[in-house]
Structure 1
Amino acid sequence: MVPAPARPDFAAIRAEFDLPEGFPPEVLGEAARAASRPPSQGRLDATDLALVTIDPPGSKDLDQAVGVARDGDGFRVHYAIADLGAVVEPGGALDTEVRRRGQTYYLPDGSVPLHPPVLSEDAASLLPDGPRAAVLWTIGLDAAGEVTDVDVRRAVVRSSARLDYAGVQADVDSGGPLHPAIAALPELGRLRRALAVARGAIELELPEQEVLPDGAGGWTVRVRARLDVESWNAEISLLTGMAAGAVMLRGGVGLLRTLPAPDAGALASFARTAAGLGFRTEPTVHAVAALLAGLPRDDAPALALRRAATTLLRGAGYTAFDVAGGVAAPDDPGHGGIGAPYAHVTAPLRRLVDRFGTEVCLALAAGEELPGWLRTALPVLPELMAASDSTAAKVDRACVDRTEAALLAGRIGEEFRVIVLRPSEADGAAGEVYLADPPVLARCDGPLEAGVTTTVRLVEADPATGRIAFSAAGA
């Protein structure tokens, strides 16, 4: 008997988290007027630069257009970012609304956008249908991929193509020519990834679940394979965010995305866990980063170790500072997952804080004073972003959990082979297991040993709450 299609209730998730259903008329009117204005005068004309966007198929909210080229022995990166500062009036109706939202919320059946689509999917998006206002980062790098110079200014750019990850990866794999705008992306991407490991950047690379149509009128959960092209493109975004963080720290004002480096106790605990799973590492950030970077993707002990590494990345937040205003920069301005100071500036269509971070960098690069509205906003933004980040994470998890539960709802009592990611605790706390097909992360009661493949029995799968529970066979 073929099971009925899984139909999780995404509308209930929207209602549960009070996600907005539309934009107020005054916001739509302000956005439409902003969309009709041509780019402001005084911008650098960079329409001759070779730039492309690389995003998932069908994406319309295109924040970044990239160009990576060889420059002598080194490289030159041009990274154009959608210029939301040019269309959002400080203190206006649109500004008030996007502060309330914080970011775009993505659900399987449609997004809840940060900005009205007339901006986010049209006039402010870096679509390849004409010149667009942008903030252009130009970054020089040496032969090793290290930064030599940085420039940021307002510009007019023209994207020449809208590419997707799978298509670019296919070109790479076939050995065929890449678009001229990204001919040097694979080489620089590999160099920057190696430098990240050398910095002690801790990347977990756990299986990334996504909810997709199943082709039969329902939904299913799959693990999204991360392509090399995605990693290389992400390195360009990280490079720009690190450049922005450095600009802010030199200028004595800004808003960093921070995450404390793991302390000695956490590193020692991780090293013991690694040894128990058959891996050897010194309890240092650099040794752990190198170990994680070299782990296999689907091996059971490796997956358990990646899950254990989540304990090393705790305490992420946003830290505003303004030395002239009496607020010092943080003693530890770094981001433990990146291995360097970092600021969000590359996704302003989808994330509120990036517009403000960009305006800080533009003012500092031009040697200008920050406008009063910007200085006033900086200390408020950490709380706004923390709230929206929390909501976004809960929405994402709810969509996956309820789809998983809907897929398993008719299989209570069945036994499954799973990988144990977290063992049961001595105090009786449940462990965590990973089922590969369908890909499910769930709690499991009973005696469990991390890093092994074992048999468990499904005891609960509630599509209304997303709650799933297994029990160790024989428990």
Structure 2
Amino acid sequence: MTRFLAHGIDFGAVREEFNLPHGYPPEAVAEALRATDRCSAEREDRTDLPLVTIDPPESMDLDQALHLERTADGFVLHYAIADVGAVVEPGGALEVESRKRGQTFYLPDGKVPLHPKELSEGSASLLPDQIRPAALWRIELDEQAAPVSWTVSRATVRSVARLDYAGVQADSDAGRLHPSITSLPEFGRLRAAAAVARGAIELRLPEQDVVPDGEGWRIDLAPRTEADDWNAEVSLLTGMCAAAMMIDARIGLLRTLPPAGPDAVAALRRTAAALGIEWPRDVGVGEMLAGLDPNSAPTLVLMTEAPSLLRGADYAAFDGSVPELTVHAAIGAPYAHVTAPLRRLSDRYSTEVCLAIASDAAVPTWVRGALGSMPEIMGGSDTLAGKVERACIDLAEATVLADRVGDVFDATVLRSRNGKRTADVFVPSVSVMGKCVGDPAEGEQVKIRLVAADVNKRSVEFSYPA
């Protein structure tokens, strides 16, 4: 297949536009270099557990390591999370700077990290064959992979292997999975079925990814394997257990999303009917979406419309009384972020809450005092991260297509904007999504012409008919 490359993309302009920080303050780096485990006396030695990590191959900031055992009556999951709260000094320069950032920001030419790499890719990362401090979750599950008990405690751990998604998928297909995750496919499929049963909504939209290619850049659709989904189910399960602990103890930080309103569901039903997608009245949204052919044009169109169901995501901090909304509608259950503390600020504090609850101890004052500020910090950083990602993709799209104005492309119509004579289209040959002037019908495969590609404005425009 022909590769369409973009040369000389200046992602630095995106960094400047959104005022992303350059480097890390020296005093915070110095603090990271001398960081020690303040909770070493509390830890159980669990270096006997043959934990493994599963991450993209280039990742060095490894937050999570797992071991999954199949038992006679279910599963036992051990999930080690980098214990960032034990190595970042409360009130220190490192905490102050990480609170300004909120999370790691990812750009095609590099990331703007939440923590200095000396910590996030070094002393706190769960790198293979290194003894590390961790918050170690132990979750017991029944034959259907439903959790029956869970707890978390401080431990020292050691990862024995660094795996990646494609490798895990290949090993699964070949029947040679690492002994620590032999049961992961069964676990993952059972958890996915449980998600559908509880009304979870998963959107399988094409995810654009700007990747280096020799001296240039290209836009790909980010690959997603079953292994990605299995690993995601481990993290989701842990976040659900954490949320249950917090709600029971009446203190914590939840990730919330209100249920879709009847008007949004009705609108999606009309779209499904127009696309010829059968949707029985007694079938929920999540079950319907999960049953669609992911490779069909009607599915792509419906998945593009489905985000209208998932509006109003927020963080809910509470101490003493439980918020009115505790559920995350896309997950179909209460949920909390606790599994990525090297890359997401809130997880550090949420993990400390869970550790205190599990040990029947008071939540530390420095944690309690920070909870109330987390919704604003995390909401702002989530919004910024979305804008940065979109700007990078828009810039790459315009640059890839800059010298192809006038060319004709095959496209799928994602959304027609009635009355405005415009549509949103997806062009698979270049993995571009853009605006099209004209009135093509949703779900149709059409030929469109590129009429503009403006690098400065980071925009592309097509016309129909071609």
Q: Same fold (TM over 0.5)?
A: yes
In the TM superposition, what are the counterparts of 1:55-454 in structure 2 within 5 Å? 55-175=55-175, 177-215=176-214, 217-282=215-280, 287-323=284-320, 328-426=321-419, 428=420, 430-454=422-446
Which residue identity lines up with residue 297 of structure 2 in the other structure?
Answer: A
- CA deviations on 1:408-438 (whole Å, 9 max, x unpaired) are 0111122211101111222x16321111011
Q: Distance in 1 between matches of 2:386 and 2:201?
A: 20
SS of the residue aligned with 1:411? coil
Which residue identity lines up with residue 138 of structure 2 in the other structure?
Answer: T
Q: Distance in 1 between matches of 2:91 and 2:42?
A: 24
Q: Distance in 2 between matches of 1:38 and 1:54?
A: 27
SS of the residue aligned with 1:41? helix
Q: Distance in 1 between matches of 2:336 and 2:263?
A: 27
SS of the residue aligned with 1:432? strand
Which residue identity lines up with residue 195 of structure 1 in the other structure?
Answer: A
Conservation of the 8 A alpha-carbon contact between 1:448 and 1:472: yes
Q: Distance in 2 between matches of 1:238 and 1:280?
A: 29
Q: Partner residue of 1:44? A: 44
**Against the structure 1 CA distance between its residues 4 and 234, is the aligned structure 2 distance closer, same or farther, given a 3 Å change threshold?**
closer
Count of residue pairs brought into register by the alignment: 465
Conservation of the 8 A alpha-carbon contact between 1:6 and 1:220: no
Conservation of the 8 A alpha-carbon contact between 1:168 and 1:229: yes
- CA deviations on 1:275-323 (whole Å, 9 max, x unpaired) are 1111122467x62111111212221111001111111111111111112
Q: What stretches of structure 1 of length at least 5 have no aligned partner?
A: none
SS of the residue aligned with 2:48? coil
Q: Partner residue of 1:30? A: 31
Q: Distance in 2 between matches of 1:54 and 1:463?
A: 36
Q: What stretches of structure 2 of length at least 5 have no aligned partner?
A: none
Structural RMSD (CA)? 1.6
SS of the residue aligned with 2:78? strand
Conservation of the 8 A alpha-carbon contact between 1:137 and 1:153: yes
Conservation of the 8 A alpha-carbon contact between 1:74 and 1:145: yes
SS of the residue aligned with 1:416? strand
- Select between 401-410 and 363-372 the one with higher mean Cα deviation: 363-372
- CA deviations on 1:363-412 (whole Å, 9 max, x unpaired) are 11111222222122111110001111111111111111111111101111
Conservation of the 8 A alpha-carbon contact between 1:258 and 1:318: yes
**Against the structure 1 CA distance between its residues 269 and 360, is the aligned structure 2 distance closer, same or farther, given a 3 Å change threshold?**
same
**Against the structure 1 CA distance between its residues 3 and 186, is the aligned structure 2 distance closer, same or farther, given a 3 Å change threshold?**
closer
Q: Distance in 2 between matches of 1:460 and 1:330?
A: 49
**Per-residue deviation at 1:4?**
7.0
- CA deviations on 1:161-213 (whole Å, 9 max, x unpaired) are 001111111111122x2111101101101100110111111111100111111
Conservation of the 8 A alpha-carbon contact between 2:421 and 2:438: no
Identity over aligned pairs, percent: 54
Which residue identity lines up with residue 153 of structure 2 in the other structure?
Answer: R
Q: Distance in 1 between matches of 2:5 and 2:335?
A: 46
Does structure 1 residue 12 correspond to structure 2 residue 34? no
SS of the residue aligned with 2:401? helix
Q: Distance in 2 between matches of 1:213 and 1:453?
A: 29
**Per-residue deviation at 1:58?**
2.2
Q: Distance in 1 between matches of 2:195 and 2:421?
A: 36
**Per-residue deviation at 1:348?**
0.2
- Select between 259-268 and 217-226 the one with higher mean Cα deviation: 259-268
**Per-residue deviation at 1:5?**
4.0
Conservation of the 8 A alpha-carbon contact between 2:104 and 2:343: yes
SS of the residue aligned with 1:160? strand
Q: Distance in 2 between matches of 1:282 and 1:380?
A: 44
**Against the structure 1 CA distance between its residues 268 and 282, is the aligned structure 2 distance closer, same or farther, given a 3 Å change threshold?**
farther
**Against the structure 1 CA distance between its residues 206 and 223, is the aligned structure 2 distance closer, same or farther, given a 3 Å change threshold?**
same
Q: Distance in 2 between matches of 1:3 and 1:121?
A: 33
Which residue identity lines up with residue 18 of structure 2 in the other structure?
Answer: F
SS of the residue aligned with 2:316? strand
Q: Distance in 1 between matches of 2:248 and 2:3?
A: 62
SS of the residue aligned with 1:155? strand
- CA deviations on 1:231-283 (whole Å, 9 max, x unpaired) are 00000000000001111100001110011111222112211111111112246
Q: Distance in 1 between matches of 2:288 and 2:75?
A: 29
Which residue identity lines up with residue 226 of structure 1 in the other structure?
Answer: R
Conservation of the 8 A alpha-carbon contact between 1:7 and 1:403: no
Q: Distance in 2 between matches of 1:346 and 1:155?
A: 15
Which residue identity lines up with residue 407 of structure 2 in the other structure?
Answer: E
- CA deviations on 1:122-164 (whole Å, 9 max, x unpaired) are 1000001321100000000000111000010111001000011
SS of the residue aligned with 2:34? helix
**Against the structure 1 CA distance between its residues 5 and 279, is the aligned structure 2 distance closer, same or farther, given a 3 Å change threshold?**
closer
Conservation of the 8 A alpha-carbon contact between 2:6 and 2:396: no
